[in-house]
Amino acid sequence: MQRFFAPDMRTAMREASRMLGPDAVILSSEEKADGVEVVAAIDYQEAPSVNKKHKKDKEQWLTDPVIQEMRQEISAMRNLLEDQLIGFAWQGVKDKKPIYASLLKRLYEMGFSRSIAEQLLSNLSNTHDLDTAWQEILLRLESLVSTHEDDFIQAGGMVALVGPTGVGKTTTLAKLAARYVIRNQADKLGLISTDAYRIGAHEQLNTYGKILGVGVQHVESQAQLDEQVSLLKDKNLVLFDTAGLSQRDVHLKEQIAWMTESNWPIQTLLVLSATSHYQVLKETIKAFRSSKLAGVVITKVDEATQLGPILSICVEEQLPIIYTTDGQRVPEDIKLARGNSLIRSAVEINRQYASSCSDEELAYVYAGRKINATESS
């Protein structure tokens, strides 16, 4: 630490900088009768300890019971105020734009995410008649939902079904295999399973294979996969069944890598259950994105109480829907996905289950806040 005296501040600082270097810090300055006195230093160590002291004081202060009680009260007041504002905002929409509010309510009740509902409602050409506006929304929805024109597997190639456990991958694979065999020769189809983890997985697929007269190869490593695929080179279509591990499972990545990092042009279809919640679907897609998804198969449409979540996610993630399944029967319960029939089902399912959102729930969804698991975005 050093003192510098100069006729003015600028000269004092220049002098401090000349003597102590560019890292010099001014600690204090004092006006004197005939100039300025500056105290400067380098590597000044006091600042961190001052910060430490402040931090300690703050910690003590925060644990003070009186302060804690005040914090809780402020937080409760804030929540109350927010609740009221959210309620006012929704009430305002209902008063000013009743048709818009009714349409939004319908879309939320069907399980559509906030962003899709807003997209569907923006710049409607008719907002005076509920039914006309609703028809326009359904047409818009149909144009947003992307599907595949042809029967995906009939083009041949290598197609793997991936997705979480229990969504219906093996059953769907059996349905697809049967669909293929009905229209083509059984000896042009190959079946490979990479599901080495679940007890009974082999038997399940072997049984379907036997019924169809198609052999099933089970592989447990990338090398075995390469070997088996090369043995099936004369097949027109090779379908891969995969283990449905949890989307957080490390084995999943390994198994996806066998296919995506192999030299074979394997296309993947992500199998998603229509009964899953929006957030689960979102997380699943994130986990399987690396497998370069060609599209989605939606299963268990027969068990779903809403189709909004799955349709929203497919639109948001720009994933075409290839097939839908609506039952356990092999091979009957599988269809080519079609936008208009999916939307008809979504409306019908909503009518059947008549899930109804309370005004409070709607107000929260409208505000983009979660009241409970009903919000999707």
Ligand X SMILES: Nc1nc2c(ncn2[C@@H]2O[C@H](COP(=O)(O)OP(=O)(O)O)[C@@H](O)[C@H]2O)c(=O)[nH]1
Q: DSSP states of 154-214 as a string? A: GG-EEEEEE-STTSSHHHHHHHHHHHHHHHS-GGGEEEEE---SSTTHHHHHHHHHHHHT-
Query: Which residue in 302, 338, 339, 371 binds ligand X (CB under 6 A)?
Result: 302
In the complex, the smallest distance separating the C-beta of residue 310 from ligand X, rounded to whole angstroms, is 13
Q: DSSP states of 21-76 as a string? A: -TT-EEEEEEEETTEEEEEEESS--HHHHHHHHHHHHHHHHHH-HHHHHHHHHHHH
With a CB cutoff of 8 Å and minimum separation 6, the contacts of 62 are: 68
Question: Binding partner of residue 166 among ligand X, Mg ion, none, CB under 5 to 8 Å per kind?
Answer: ligand X
- Between 284 and 345, name the residue whose CB sits nearer to Mg ion: 284
328 binds ligand X (CB under 6 A): yes
Instruction: Choose the stretch contacting ligand X; rule: CB under 6 A; options: 72-80, 85-93, 178-186, 323-331.
Output: 323-331
Q: Identify the DSSP state of 317.
A: T
In the complex, the smallest distance separating the C-beta of residue 297 from ligand X, rounded to whole angstroms, is 9
Count interface residues toward ligand X (CB under 6 A).
17
Q: How many residues does the chain have?
A: 377
Note the residues at the interface with Mg ion (CB under 5 A). 169-170
Residue 107: Cβ within 10 Å count = 24
252 binds ligand X (CB under 6 A): no
215 binds ligand X (CB under 6 A): no
In the complex, the smallest distance separating the C-beta of residue 193 from ligand X, rounded to whole angstroms, is 10
**Joined tokens for residue 90:** 């929704």
Exposed / middle / buried, residue 123 (Cβ in 10 Å: 0-12, 13-18, 19+): exposed
Instruction: Choose the stretch contacting ligand X; rule: CB under 6 A; options: 277-285, 297-305, 312-320, 339-347.
Output: 297-305
- Between 195 and 361, name the residue whose CB sits nearer to ligand X: 195
Question: Binding partner of residue 283 among ligand X, Mg ion, none, CB under 5 to 8 Å per kind?
Answer: none
- Between 171 and 228, name the residue whose CB sits nearer to ligand X: 171
- Give the 3-state secondary structure of residue 339: helix
Query: Which residue in 107, 284, 300, 366 binds ligand X (CB under 6 A)?
Result: 300
Give the DSSP H or E segment for 14. helix 9-20
303 binds ligand X (CB under 6 A): yes
Give the N- to C-terminal CA distance of the chain in Å, as an integer.
Answer: 58
In the complex, the smallest distance separating the C-beta of residue 118 from ligand X, rounded to whole angstroms, is 31
137-196: contacts with ligand X (CB under 6 A): 165-171
Q: How far apart are CA 171 and CA 244, in angstroms?
A: 12
**Joined tokens for residue 177:** 């295999």
- Between 267 and 325, name the residue whose CB sits nearer to ligand X: 325
Q: In this chain, which residue has its C-beta nearest to Mg ion? A: 170
Q: Which residues contact ligand X (rule: CB under 6 A)?
A: 165-171, 244, 299-300, 302-303, 325-328, 333
